[in-house]
Amino acid sequence: MIVAEAVGEALIGLGVRTVFGVVGSGNFHVTNALVAGGARFVAARHEGGAATMADAFARAGGGVGVLSVHQGPGLTNALTGITEAAKSRTPLLVLAAETAGSAVRSNFRVDQAALAAAVGAVPERVHSPSSALADLARAWRTAVVERRTVVLGLPLDVQSAELPAAPAPTSGPPVPSVPVPGPEGVARLADVLAGAERPVFLAGRGARGAREPLVALAARTGALLATSAVARGLFRGEEFDLDVSGGFASPVTAELMRGADVLVGWGCSLNMWTLRHGTLVGEDTTVVQVDLDTEALGVNRPIDLGLVGDVAGTAAAVEAELARRGHASDGARSPALAARLARERRWRDIPYDDDSDDVSIDPRTLSIALDDLLPAERTVAVDSGNFMGYPAMYLEVPDADGLVFTQAYQSIGLGLATAIGAAIARPDRLTVAALGDGGALMSIAELETAVRLGLGLVIVVYDDEAYGAEVHHFGPHGHPLDTVRFPPADIAEIGRGFGCTAITARRRDDLAPLTDWLTGPRDHPLLIDAKVTRGRPAWWLEEAFRGH
């Protein structure tokens, strides 16, 4: 058995059943070995799309993402998606072919390890036939245990060499127990919460999977519950769920966040977006941060207490300590506040002046209509741009897996591939891709992938015929906007050319065909080219500009 085949077989033993990528000569054998072992290979049309699909697959609950790419351009084409995954701490293993050590004049030769490190991924390499399986196990452990994106170099000369006789690993390396702060740290946080009158918990990506202990601790302390955008849905159904903090926060959420006397960030980086450039933290608020990563503590803003620990374990330990003390408080919780949140927490319930006319539809009106028409069991995948707050906040999601929000690198063009990866991870749910026209056209090749795979996606293009963020950023200052505006494009017709069912929506009634499609077999995508109004920036963009 050659090394390439052994690596593929070992990954099957580690539980890999889905691989994304684009196959070239350098990753041909390892990919085929995975397929021979029973893995599904999802062929994208561009490595950038494949990387984002693998990222989204992991985020939506599919397990560790695995990406297979050719050496040189295969990796560089994938770098934007890899960067997004690395910045998001997605557990992702990139199988990247490399030129042989002796091929110093190869056109494909670039310093792939340096590229990986430059974008925040962890570079690893299969160094020799005798170390190949140990090298793979080390890379796998880093991806799983440390939740990192790992680029594993597979030099062609090592790939083609015979593997010395040795059994392939059939299970992953042992996963160490997650750390919890010691008794002193638990007691310090318990002291802070025992003295709090208006605590707020702010849960981020690192809190996913910790709903129950956080809810229990919040009930004991009277804390209100909020999330960063990437954890939206974590507290869905809780009476005192504030929904999303930051630029997406509704007025009542922003008010209650500012009024907190204690703010605890759970697995949350407390960055400028989540705290709206710091304006959601009161002058006298005690700020606490709990995170597995020591380097994350206080990196984005000053904190009063930082604890290194697993979110679920830490919350459970603090709740147990407060129970031992006999502490219980309602905090700011009351029937009146619960009633107010039920009325005002959702953006769709806040009155607005509808800007729709005969040729375009207000993105708020569009999003509310879609929320009414689409089934509740859904996954919403959102691209980047001026439009993104509307689907991210007006379309409800059922839980923390319901919103896949690839915004750590703020690149447009990732939304369609995000939806494909999420749909493969969660075929039990309808996946909705929300794109701007710029991002949709940038990634249009992956429409063929969605059609070829028979994915029943709903693809909504918020089409303002521009890069809207730049229009609203620079337009008010009188700058020329010819470089960021485009003539009308019939995106619906483009969708039909790829094999989608497609409609153009200029008013709410134009969405009627969506109901018919939902009752059908859903064996191909439905694309909605929504011609949206463009007279004003999204509310969250106005907030963001205040910080520029």
Q: What does the pLDDT look like over 178-193, one tens digit per residue?
A: 789 999 999 999 999 9
Q: Is 83 exposed, middle or buried (0-12, 13-18, 19+ CB in 10 A)?
A: buried
Whether 27 contacts 51, CB under 8 Å: no
Backbone angles phi and psi of 51, in degrees to 5:
-60, -45
What local confidence, expressed as pLDDT, does residue 88 receive? 95
Distance CA 331, CA 379 (A): 33
In whole angstroms, give the CA distance from residue 37 to residue 17: 9
User: Residue 493 carries which DSSP code?
Assistant: H
Overall pTM > 0.85: yes
Produce one character per residue of 315-334: b if its CB has 16 or more CB atoms within 10 Å, e if not: bbbbbbbbeeeeeebebbbe
Q: In the chain, how long is the greatest CA-to-CA distance?
A: 73
Cβ atoms of 82 and 411 within 8 Å: the answer is no
Q: Residue 174: is its pLDDT beyond 70?
A: no
Strand (E) or helix (H) holding 340: helix 335-344
On whether the CB atoms of residues 240 and 225 are closer than 8 A, the answer is yes
Q: Beta strand 92-98 with 40-43: parallel, antiparallel or unpaired?
A: unpaired
State residue 328's pLDDT score: 97
Residue where the block lists tokens 């107010």: 340
> Over the stretch 303-318, which tens digit does the pLDDT of each residue have?
999 999 999 999 999 9
Output the pLDDT for position 39: 98
Question: Mapped to the 3 state alphabet, what secondary structure does 189-222 carry?
Answer: HHHHHHCCCCEEEEECHHHCCCHHHHHHHHHHHC
What is d(CA 395, CA 392) in angstroms, rounded to the nearest whole number? Answer: 6
Q: Would you call 320 helix, strand, or coil by DSSP? A: helix
Instruction: Provide CB contacts within 8 A for 368, sequence distance 6+.
Output: 348, 394
Kindly state the helix (H) or strand (E) to which residue 21 belongs, with its residue range: strand 18-21
Mean predicted confidence (pLDDT) in 370-399: 97
pLDDT of residue 541: 80
Measured distance CA(286)–CA(174) in Å, rounded: 38
What per-residue string of b and e applies to 431-444 under the rule 16 or more CB within 10 Å gives b? bbbbbbbbbbbbbb
* Range list of H helices, 174-310: 183-194, 211-221, 251-258
The per-residue pLDDT for 111 is: 96
Does residue 546 have a pLDDT over 90?
A: no
Least confident range from 83-92, 375-384, 471-480: namely 471-480
pLDDT of residue 408: 94
* pLDDT single digits (tens) 486-523: 999 999 999 999 999 999 999 999 999 999 999 999 99
Provide the token pair at 110: 């670039």
Give CA–CA dist 106/26, Å, rounded: 13
Q: Looking at residues 202-231, what average pLDDT do you find?
A: 97
Whole-number Cα distances in Å, 461 to 355, 427, 438, 457:
18, 22, 9, 12
Nearest CA among 399, 398, 357 for reference residue 374: 398
Mean pLDDT, to the nearest integer, of 210-228? 98
Rounded to the nearest angstrom, the gap between the alpha carbon of residue 166 and the centroid of all alpha carbons in its chain is 39
- 3-state SS assignment for residue 289: strand
pLDDT, position 463: 97
Mean pLDDT of 134-142: 96
Q: Is 267 left (phi over 0), alpha (psi -120 to 50) or beta?
A: left
**Mean pLDDT throughout 138-150?**
95
Which residue's structure tokens are 């705290």?
Answer: 275
Residue 86 CA to residue 514 CA, distance in Å, equals: 36
375 SS3 class: coil
**Structure confidence by residue, pLDDT tens digits, 11-70:** 999 999 999 999 999 999 999 999 999 999 999 999 999 999 999 999 999 999 999 999
Question: Residue 206: its pLDDT value, please?
Answer: 93
User: What is the Cα–Cα distance from 49 to 442, expressed in whole angstroms?
Assistant: 11
Long-range contacts of 183-189 (CB under 8 A, 24+ apart): 185/307, 185/309, 186/314, 186/317, 186/318, 186/321, 187/321, 188/305, 188/307, 189/264, 189/288, 189/290, 189/305, 189/307, 189/314, 189/318
Cβ atoms of residues 122 and 116 within 8 Å:
yes
**How far is it, in rounded angstroms, from Cα 373 to Cα 350?**
19
Q: How far is CA 440 from CA 165, 403, 510, in A?
A: 49, 18, 20
Inter-residue contact 303 to 288 (CB < 8 Å): yes
User: What is the tens place of the pLDDT at every residue in 57-111?
Assistant: 999 999 999 999 999 999 999 999 999 999 999 999 999 999 998 888 999 999 9
Cα(305)–Cα(191) distance, integer angstroms:
11
Q: Is the pLDDT of residue 177 over 80?
A: no
pLDDT at 329 over 90: yes
Rounded to an integer, what distance in angstroms lies between the CA atom of residue 286 and that of residue 183?
21
Q: What are the φ and ψ backbone dihedral angles of 71, each rounded to 5 degrees?
A: -70, 160
C-alpha to C-alpha distance for 548 and 255, rounded to whole angstroms: 22
Phi, psi of 100 (to 5 degrees): -60, 150
